[in-house]
Amino acid sequence: MQIIRVKNYEELSKKAAKILASIITLNPEAVLGLATGSTPVGAYQELIRLHREEGLDFSSISTVNLDEYLGLDGSHDQSYRYFMNQQLFDHVNIHIEQTFVPSGVSSDSQAACTEYDARIEDFCGTDVQVLGIGGNGHIGFNEPADHFIRETHIVDLAEDTREANARFFSSIEEVPTQAITMGMGGIFSSQKILLLASGKGKAQAIKDTVLGPITPQVPASLLQLHPDVILIADEDALSLL
């Protein structure tokens, strides 16, 4: 794992966007694995700036997102489809039909999981996967558990995850209890992983991810086995290393 230490969130966002922009420039048909949450927002803003001011071209790019809340459709303002449209897709020249987010409202959620993995396989995996990390070490919504799950699957959200995400809803009761998430197989299908972490709240999870044993209790620890992981983290997130 390569670790890039940055001073602050702004620098993290610029570095992450620069890596993504170079992947897009070198391969205009790249498949980007994208993440939601507050951490990648600054990188998406920088990508939008690069599109507007420097002509970064998304017209042949495809994207595959990590996860979606179960029960929220794309028009719900807390759904991850809505988030991606607002934070990135609506502001660049990407073809929206080439952007994929798992469906949170499929009548057959198991079939939705299988279809999502088939989609990733059709793409032969992603060229890069952006990841945030939960304070509990989750990636996507792969929560601490007794074993790693390879496939896209339905997951019960951990209580600390629901509490962490309650800030986006009017009350914790409104935070969905389940989600559909890409599994470790989908994440590992990526050529390159860009793990982003900012703030003291991520310090323990980053320490466990980088130095701890590989365990499904810290899902991100499995990244120790991926051949090309770049961790971009600020001083606070690296403070326990």
**Smallest separation (angstroms) from ligand PGA to the CB of 156:** 15
- Tell me which of 132, 176, 183, 219 binds ligand PGA, using CB under 6 A: 132
Long-range contacts formed by 70-75: CB under 8 A, 24+ apart: 70/104, 70/109, 70/154, 70/176, 70/177, 70/178, 70/179, 70/180, 71/104, 71/105, 71/176, 71/178, 72/104, 72/105, 72/176, 73/104, 73/105, 74/101
Q: Is 76 a catalytic residue?
A: no
> Which residue stretch of 37-45, 78-86, 94-102, 107-115 sits at the interface with ligand PGA (rule: CB under 6 A)?
37-45
Q: Is 133 in the site for ligand PGA (CB under 6 A)?
A: yes
Q: Which is nearer to ligand PGA, 101 or 133 (CB)?
A: 133
Q: Is 138 a catalytic residue?
A: yes
Q: Is 143 a catalytic residue?
A: yes
> Which residue stretch of 24-32, 133-141, 203-211, 226-234 sits at the interface with ligand PGA (rule: CB under 6 A)?
133-141
How far is residue 41's CA from residue 186's CA, in Å, rounded to a whole number?
Answer: 22
Selected catalytic residue, list 117, 143, 208, 234: 143
**Smallest separation (angstroms) from ligand PGA to the CB of 57:** 27
Q: Which is nearer to ligand PGA, 19 or 41 (CB)?
A: 41
Q: Is 39 in the site for ligand PGA (CB under 6 A)?
A: yes
> Which residue stretch of 9-17, 112-120, 129-137, 147-155 sits at the interface with ligand PGA (rule: CB under 6 A)?
129-137
**Smallest separation (angstroms) from ligand PGA to the CB of 112:** 21
Q: Which is nearer to ligand PGA, 125 or 134 (CB)?
A: 134
Q: Is 102 in the site for ligand PGA (CB under 6 A)?
A: no
- Catalytic residue set: 67, 136, 138, 143
Residue ranges that bind ligand PGA, judged by CB under 6 A: 37-39, 132-134, 138
